[in-house]
Amino acid sequence: MENRERIREILIEQGSIGRENGKKISRYIDLTADDGVTRPAGTDPDKKTRDYFTELCRKNGFDPFVDVFGNIFVTLQGTDPGIIMMGSHLDSVVHGGMFDGAMGVFSSLEVLLRLKESGYKNKKTLVVAAFTGEEGSAFHQPMLGSNGFTGNISREKLWAIKNRDGVDFKSAMQRIEYLGDSEFPGKPEYYLEYHIEQGPVLEEKKKQIGIVTSITGQCVLSVEINGIQGHSGTTPMEMRSDALVRAAEIIELVDRTAREASAKYKNHSVGTVGELSVDPGRFNVIPGHVSMKIDLRSEHSNSLAYMKKNVISELETTNNGINIKYTIVAEVEPSIMSTEVMDAIRSSVKSLGFSYMDMPSGAGHDTIPISKISKAGMIFVPSIKGLSHAPLEWTDFEDVERGLEVLEGAVKNLDKK
Ligand code: HGY
Ligand code: MN
Ligand code: MN
């Protein structure tokens, strides 16, 4: 099978894992809003995807290593010191797409196969990594595996984090048989993440490749709003402490503050409340309790600080019997990519003759923590209509192949260093 066929077949195969209807979809026109992929960390679909990946590795002569965070590593040993790591994640959001994360992991393995099959003699050791729980769709915070790998979160702390079903990380990963007993030996000198853009810019600007300059800063707050549950028919309006009405005021403020920050700082600042639960959640009961998550992001620290300040001052405003508690569950400043790695990507793009542009990433990635311990960079390819974290997420296979060839060239450029 021709190489570009191989990666296409693999992505189609893995894309059916975690799809409720199990459909294998090979063309964008066949994709519907019912074809979402759901593969939260530690679930059976996560296990199935991991099994598919590790079987592929073994079939091609590699021996996958699983560390104490459930991260999977595949190594092509070099002769000289230094590690070049290519990584991303296999988990997905709920009803997400089949390219986010997985395209990078399987394409990185494909690069290793192509280098091996071409007889390329790598000097530095080349490693492919699949990091656990990048999405935070099972556990309450994102980038668990990569934060464990970089030492940002200790093994003990990470193992104790509970998922939405109240199961701790260690038990969840043991259940799917992806919890190793040691850490991966070595840290990367260079790190590359190949990923879909997940936004509309490359398509709008008609560019084939994005060279990422920085990755958004982020502040995720978990909020508990306590009001007074009551009868929706008998309780007069002036006597209510309705937790959901208070939540609605906060949601409107988050949206307004992000728009203000974007205008004030002339940049891409965003604020979202995508997760909310109402208790008891029945039409004839005044909501007594609301839990929700607020996701604030900006490419610039000052606008992130502006949004965080406004949102927290709103959360600390108590009124008519409502009590609000909040915690910051994830917070990171914008991450700047290595110019050395960006140059290696750029010279690969130029030698392949693809069109490209430098651009920031509005999405978070495992590259965030890893850029703090190594020289890191990211390669983007276009997302159709900029859609992602949605069933209709799609990237043409010609674009997948282009990005993969850029990745291979960038690895070779860094291997010469
Ligand atoms: O949320 C993000 O930006 C990433 O896809 N986890
Ligand atoms: Mn991703
Ligand atoms: Mn994602």
pLDDT given for residue 1 in this prediction: 61
What is the residue-level pLDDT of the chain in tens, covering all 417 positions? 677 899 999 999 999 999 989 999 999 999 999 999 999 999 999 999 999 999 999 999 999 999 999 999 999 999 999 999 999 999 999 999 999 999 999 999 999 999 999 999 999 999 999 999 999 999 988 999 999 999 999 999 999 999 999 999 999 999 999 999 999 999 999 999 999 999 999 999 999 999 999 999 999 999 999 999 999 999 999 999 999 999 999 999 999 999 999 999 999 999 999 999 999 999 999 999 999 999 999 999 999 999 999 999 999 997 889 999 999 999 999 999 999 999 999 999 999 999 999 999 999 999 999 999 999 999 999 999 999 999 999 999 999 999 999 999 999 999 999
Ligand found nearest the CA of 134 = 1
**DSSP, residue by residue, 231-270:** ETTTS-GGG---HHHHHHHHHHHHHHHHHHHHHHHTS-EE
User: What single letter denotes the amino acid at residue 339?
Assistant: T
Would strands 323-332 and 217-226 be described as parallel, antiparallel, or unpaired?
Answer: antiparallel
Ligand found nearest the CA of 102 = 2
Instruction: Say how many C-beta atoms besides its own lie within 10 A of residue 21's C-beta.
Output: 10
Ligand found nearest the CA of 141 = 1
Q: Are 220 and 295 in contact (CB under 8 A)?
A: yes
Angle between helices 3-15 and 44-59 (to 10 degrees): 160
**Is 142's C-beta closer than 6 angstroms to any atom of ligand 1?**
yes
State the distance from the centre of ligand 2 to the C-alpha of 52, rounded, in angstroms: 19
**Is 134's C-beta closer than 6 angstroms to any atom of ligand 1?**
yes
**Is 215's C-beta closer than 6 angstroms to any atom of ligand 1?**
no
- Report d(CA 335, CA 318) in Å as an integer: 35
State the distance from the centre of ligand 2 to the C-alpha of 408, rounded, in angstroms: 20
State the distance from the centre of ligand 3 to the C-alpha of 390, rounded, in angstroms: 10
* Nearest-CA residue for atom 4 of ligand 1: 364
Probe target for ligand 1 pocket from 92, 98, 131, 135, with the most ligand atoms within 8 Å of CB: 135
Q: What distance lies between CA 314 and its chain's CA centroid?
A: 28
Atom of ligand 1 nearest to the CA of 388: 5
**Is 96's C-beta closer than 6 angstroms to any atom of ligand 1?**
no
**Is 363's C-beta closer than 6 angstroms to any atom of ligand 1?**
yes
**Is 295's C-beta closer than 6 angstroms to any atom of ligand 1?**
no
**Is 70's C-beta closer than 6 angstroms to any atom of ligand 1?**
no
- The alpha carbon dihedral of 175, 180, 181, 182 has a sign of negative
Q: What is the pTM of this model?
A: 0.94
Atom of ligand 1 nearest to the CA of 295: 1
Residue 271's nearest CA partner among 347, 217, 226 is 217
pLDDT given for residue 356 in this prediction: 98
- Per-residue DSSP letter, 98: S
